[in-house]
Amino acid sequence: MDSPNSLLTTAPLVNRVREDADVAQIAEAVSAVWAEIEKTLSPIIGQRGVAKLYRRSLHLSRVAHPWMAGPPEGMDGAMDTQPLLTALLLQKRADALLAASALFQTFHDLLASLVGPSLTERLLRPASWS
């Protein structure tokens, strides 16, 4: 049985990825979640703020998943998930799912450290965080 922490880690993907999903379907779901996060948070913290949180989350997540790719240096004005999605497509299904979940959790934790857990949950609810 999953613990509450493991459910939170995969929360954004739980309702988007079927158990038999392949890596391409996982990457598509990851792309959709990031698009929703950007759409939801940009009016509040700005497009640059979302991009910086995303880049920081990638940086921290690369410790456990060094293959995760981010946008080229110097491109912090907009969130570019394409390098990540390309890297996900090269992974095994389980590795892609684990890394994507870890990245979402890291983003969640960073945002919570800035605005608090309650507001973070409300802000990320449109991206299926609950």
List, for residues 37-55, the tens digit of each pLDDT value.
999 999 999 999 999 999 9
Q: What does DSSP assign to residue 30? A: H
Cα distances (Å, whole numbers) of residue 13 to 16, 30, 44, 76, 105 = 5, 7, 23, 25, 11
User: Which pLDDT does position 88 carry in this prediction?
Assistant: 94
Q: What mean pLDDT, rounded, does the chain reach?
A: 84
Of 20, 85, 95, the C-alpha closest to 58 is: 85
- Regions of the chain where pLDDT drops below 50: 1-9, 130
Tokens representing 80 are 């570019």
3-class secondary structure, 3: coil
% of the chain at pLDDT higher than 70 = 84
User: Which pLDDT does position 125 carry in this prediction?
Assistant: 83
pTM of the model: 0.84
- Provide the angle, in degrees to the nearest 10, between the axes of the packed helices 23-61 and 4-14: 120
Q: How many C-beta atoms surround the C-beta of residue 84 within 10 A? A: 24
User: Which pLDDT does position 79 carry in this prediction?
Assistant: 85
The amino acid at 13 = L
Judge contact between 55 and 75, C-beta under 8 A: no
User: Which pLDDT does position 6 carry in this prediction?
Assistant: 39
